Amino acid sequence: MGQDKIILAGLEFYGFHGNHPAEQQLGQPFIVDLELYLDLEPAGRTDALEATVNYGQVYRLVQEIVTGRPYKLLEALAAAISDGILAGFPVDEVLVRVKKPRAPLPGSFDYAAVEIRRRRKE
């Protein structure tokens, strides 16, 4: 497996995830960063979309997951995203970072986040 990757950063969607009832009722923004690991040499040689991952389709999948059913934990949301990408796209590995800029925490902070990295099972 090569270390080539496609990066999608700062995908922002409105979702209803959180452990507190108010979070699931009112919703809030979530920001997703992705790194998709795969061999990009064929795409570089052929200049053909079929030789790579269509990141417009990845975007739509992530949008569907984040704006869909609510999850209590960021860990579960990130796992759903990674599972969907591994099931639907020819990537060897995926890194998913889900940021929650309005997490119910006291004080000042940029965001709470979870980052997971999953590899295709052989």
Q: Single out the catalytic residue among 5, 72, 100, 121.
A: 100
Order of all β-strands in the sheet with 93-100: 5-15, 28-37, 93-100, 112-119
Active site residue 99: no
Bridge partner residues of 12 (DSSP):
31
38 Cβ contact list (under 8 Å, min separation 6): 2, 4, 5, 6, 52, 53, 90, 91, 92
The Cβ of residue 32 has, within 10 Å, a number of other Cβ atoms equal to: 24
Write the DSSP string, 45-59.
HH--GGGS--HHHHH
What amino acid positions are annotated as catalytic residues?
100
